A and B are shown apart, each in its own frame.
Chain A
Amino acid sequence: MLLEIKDLHAEIDGKEILRGINLCIGRGEVHAIMGPNGSGKSTLSAVLAGHPAYRVTQGEVIFQGKDLLAISPEDRSREGLFLSFQYPIEIPGVSMVNFMRAAVNEHRKYRQQEPMSATEFLRVMKQKREVVQLDNSLASRSVNEGFSGGEKKRNEIFQMAMLEPSLSILDETDSGLDIDALRIVSEGVNKLKRPDNSTIVITHYQRLLDYIVPDVVHVLYKGRIVRTAGRELVAELEEKGYDWIKQEVGE
């Protein structure tokens, strides 16, 4: 098992948002998490990535055999966890190149590898940019600063390509992408797929899941996973919305 979440409860500013999440993800699997606005999808991503504002009150998370909640956000990344942000952060004054070089070299240091040479690094950057067709001019600017919504999302997947994670959480990567960009970015994600790495795709729409085809689909509602099924659930939700699920869980 790559990731095991057991009875996870988490709160922010004293308000409980995750109320007992159970989720298992095997190597090589693609899981989709859907659910109404405000149900806690981004909160789950943030807790897994180690955001300091959230407090885990109960439960545990095992990632590749390690107690994920006990390690720092940077070590989670170095261990192979990647979060594509729903709202990527702008960092004025820090160039994409310096940011990415710092990230790649910290990953290498963690694995006791030498830092990448400048030429090698630029070569890899170029190669990975092509995966999502990220414009070179974006790569030479400050991190996300002034990027359009779609450019920011593309940039997230570019970073994923650079870091080669074993588990990627894509939080609404499709929002903000135009039709062509959606295809390009999804194809990029698929190109990065290996038999042993896994993906959690958080989305509201079937469109993305037509490209990145999930093995398992979950519905998150009010901080709990209330339904888990195969990919056929996507079409059903697209057609009927969430009301019937809300009814089933007694709301």
Chain B
Amino acid sequence: MILKSYIDLYRSAQDRFNAGAPDWLVEARRGSLDFLQQHGSLREAAAYATDYGMNPDRLQLKEDPYKLFSCAIPEISAYNYLVVNDSFCIPGAAELPQGVVVTSLAKAFSTHPEWVKRYFGLSHTDSADWHFNQLFAQDGLFIYVPQGVVLDQPVQLVNYMYDKEARMAVSHNLIVVEDGAAAQVLVCDHAWGETDYLSNRYTEVYVGKGAKYEHYKLESTNEHMTNISTLAIDQQAGSQVLTNSITLHGGHTDNRVQVRMLGEGARLSLNGLALGTGRQRISNHTDIRHQVAGAMSSELFKYLLDQAAQGDFYGLIRVDEGADRTTALQTNRNLCLSADARMQARPQLEIYADDVQCNHGSATGQLDENALFYMQTRGISEVEARHLLMSAFAYEVLNNIGIEKVKDRLRLMIDRRLRGEKYNCHACSMCQ
């Protein structure tokens, strides 16, 4: 299908898509429809050509999905939530800290209408992807952490693609971490079977003054998956944010992270790791806007590409006029393990302020032959020597992860993936 067909689909089924949406959203969707009709250029537009099924009526699975796909990282206790395709599955009651809300966005439209209205769309930029998502996304995860509250365990969200026929899933997560609060979110993307899937997911995060937020996104899907995601974060003064997007297995991955530094003293650590094999395509597009003075961002993205995998890194750092005393560092390191692997790196700095410390560096190379030989002279096989070098390269992006158990788990998963174990991230029981 092409964009026009989706627009027609929306038109013909408007009532069904808008059932349960608040008035302001229905109104906003009119704007989105206009936008798409005028500037309809989606990221990865070609990926939408397949005739994917959608789910305007929000049909739920008959069985209890939490039983079907019980997912937990064994060593990590977390609050677990599941989105099957585009629908949030309401879990059994969990005991959350005082005042914390974790629920379905569709439900929050009616249970917490003020909060949703206040924060929904705050971070958006006018892009076809945003409007497409706004038009079709009816559900997702909603988290609200009130002022000063620390969420004691990570929230784990599993996005699970599950269908026998080609399926598109559009979802919207909204995460609000109020002033002085703290939360960690781990998002795992999985896909069942050999069906063609397309997902377009938008996650908005509001991080209040002095608040702390960590966001880990882990993709372990398969070659039939096109995974398009946007993570848009607004950081207020003195807030600290850490993100890490790790692609272990997938088909075509397009991650975009947009962060706006809106308050003095905000600190951001933005990280990513892409492991590509086969004909995988992995793109990470980051966009950091320093809009005020005295904020700091540092960015590390690494790619390890084998066979005919293709990697793309585009990193924009923009320092607005007046955003003096900004520190912004960007590092991109890539290894191409085969002659057919391709990497494209495009760092970009746009600086309109004075007295800033900005730095970017990008390098693409191969495994160090001298190091390989050195290890071999110690009796380490070439395969093992390569493995040691590859994992050392990959682990660096985990360095500043605060939760030791998450770090250990990710290390293990990367290790297994680099040893060539397929389609199984061992993070949960879904694919086992």
Q: Is B a genuine binding partner of A?
A: yes
**A contact set with B: CB distance below 8 Å:** 49-52, 72-74, 76-78, 82-83, 85, 88-94, 98-100, 102-103, 106-107, 110, 142-143, 159, 163
A-B pairs under 8 A by CB, number: 76
Q: Out of A50, A90, A92, name the residue touching B376 (CB < 8 Å).
A: A50
Question: With A93-B393, A93-B396, A94-B388 as given contacts, are A103 and B380 in contact (CB-CB < 8 Å)?
Answer: yes
Interface size on B, residues (CB 8 A): 21
Are B377 and A102 in contact (CB-based, < 8 A)?
no
CA distance A73 to B384 in the complex (A): 13
Please classify the interface of chain B as helix (H, G, I), strand (E, B), loop, or mixed, using the class held by over half of its residues.
helix
Stretch at the interface among B127-135, B308-316, B367-375: B367-375
B395 touches A (CB below 8 Å):
yes
5 tightest Cβ-Cβ pairs between the two chains A and B? A93-B392, A77-B379, A73-B376, A89-B374, A103-B378
Are A74 and B376 in contact (CB-based, < 8 A)?
yes
**B contact set with A: CB distance below 8 Å:** 368-371, 373-382, 384, 388-389, 392-393, 395-396
Are A74 and B381 in contact (CB-based, < 8 A)?
yes
Are A102 and B392 in contact (CB-based, < 8 A)?
no
Are B380 and A98 in contact (CB-based, < 8 A)?
no
Are A93 and B377 in contact (CB-based, < 8 A)?
no
Are A89 and B392 in contact (CB-based, < 8 A)?
no
Question: With A91-B389, A91-B392, A94-B388 as given contacts, are A74 and B374 in contact (CB-CB < 8 Å)?
Answer: no
Are A50 and B377 in contact (CB-based, < 8 A)?
yes
Q: Which residues of B contact A93 (CB under 8 A)?
A: 389, 392-393, 395-396
Question: With A92-B392, A93-B393, A102-B384 as given contacts, are A52 and B373 in contact (CB-CB < 8 Å)?
Answer: yes
Q: Which residues of A contact B377 (CB under 8 A)?
A: 49-50, 73-74, 76-77, 82-83
Q: Which residues of B contact A50 (CB under 8 A)?
A: 376-377
Are B374 and A107 in contact (CB-based, < 8 A)?
no
Q: Out of A51, A88, A103, A143, name the residue touching B379 (CB < 8 Å).
A: A103
**B394 (CB) vs chain A CBs: closest residue:** A93
11 contacts between A and B (CB under 8 A): A50-B376, A74-B376, A76-B377, A77-B377, A83-B377, A91-B389, A93-B393, A93-B395, A99-B380, A99-B388, A103-B378
Q: Which residues of A contact B370 (CB under 8 A)?
A: 89
Are B376 and A72 in contact (CB-based, < 8 A)?
yes
CA distance A231 to B375 in the complex (A): 34
**A78 (CB) vs chain B CBs: closest residue:** B379
Q: Which residues of B contact A52 (CB under 8 A)?
A: 369, 373
Q: Which residues of A contact B393 (CB under 8 A)?
A: 93
- For residue B387, give the distance in angstroms from its CB to the closest CB of chain A: 9
- For residue A146, give the distance in angstroms from its CB to the closest CB of chain B: 15
- For residue A181, give the distance in angstroms from its CB to the closest CB of chain B: 22
Are A106 and B395 in contact (CB-based, < 8 A)?
no
CA distance A142 to B395 in the complex (A): 13
Are A73 and B371 in contact (CB-based, < 8 A)?
no
CA distance A90 to B371 in the complex (A): 7
Are B392 and A94 in contact (CB-based, < 8 A)?
yes
- For residue A99, give the distance in angstroms from its CB to the closest CB of chain B: 7
Q: Which residues of B contact A102 (CB under 8 A)?
A: 375, 380, 384, 388
**Most chain B CB neighbours (cut-off 10 Å) among A51, A52, A103:** A103
Q: Which residues of A contact B392 (CB under 8 A)?
A: 91-94, 142
**Most chain B CB neighbours (cut-off 10 Å) among A50, A52, A73, A103:** A73
CA distance A82 to B378 in the complex (A): 7
CA distance A159 to B375 in the complex (A): 11
Q: Which residues of A contact B384 (CB under 8 A)?
A: 102, 106
- For residue B393, give the distance in angstroms from its CB to the closest CB of chain A: 6
Are B379 and A163 in contact (CB-based, < 8 A)?
yes
**Most chain B CB neighbours (cut-off 10 Å) among A49, A90, A91:** A91
Q: Which residues of B contact A100 (CB under 8 A)?
A: 378
CA distance A51 to B369 in the complex (A): 10
**A98 (CB) vs chain B CBs: closest residue:** B388
- For residue B366, give the distance in angstroms from its CB to the closest CB of chain A: 14
Q: Which residues of A contact B369 (CB under 8 A)?
A: 52
Q: Which residues of B contact A163 (CB under 8 A)?
A: 378-379
- For residue B417, give the distance in angstroms from its CB to the closest CB of chain A: 17
CA distance A143 to B381 in the complex (A): 17
Q: Which residues of A contact B388 (CB under 8 A)?
A: 91, 94, 98-99, 102
- For residue B301, give the distance in angstroms from its CB to the closest CB of chain A: 16
- For residue B38, give the distance in angstroms from its CB to the closest CB of chain A: 49
Q: Which residues of A contact B381 (CB under 8 A)?
A: 74, 106
CA distance A181 to B377 in the complex (A): 24
CA distance A94 to B371 in the complex (A): 10
**B396 (CB) vs chain A CBs: closest residue:** A93
Q: Out of A72, A88, A98, name the residue touching B374 (CB < 8 Å).
A: A88
- For residue A162, give the distance in angstroms from its CB to the closest CB of chain B: 9
| New contact pairs (4) apart from A51-B373, A74-B381, A94-B389, CB-CB < 8 Å | A73-B376, A74-B382, A77-B378, A93-B395
Are B396 and A99 in contact (CB-based, < 8 A)?
no
Q: Which residues of B contact A143 (CB under 8 A)?
A: 374
**B378 (CB) vs chain A CBs: closest residue:** A103
**Most chain B CB neighbours (cut-off 10 Å) among A82, A83, A94:** A94
**A81 (CB) vs chain B CBs: closest residue:** B377
Are B389 and A73 in contact (CB-based, < 8 A)?
no
- For residue A130, give the distance in angstroms from its CB to the closest CB of chain B: 20
**A74 (CB) vs chain B CBs: closest residue:** B376
Are A85 and B374 in contact (CB-based, < 8 A)?
yes
CA distance A76 to B378 in the complex (A): 9
Q: Out of B375, B379, B382, name the residue touching A107 (CB < 8 Å).
A: B379
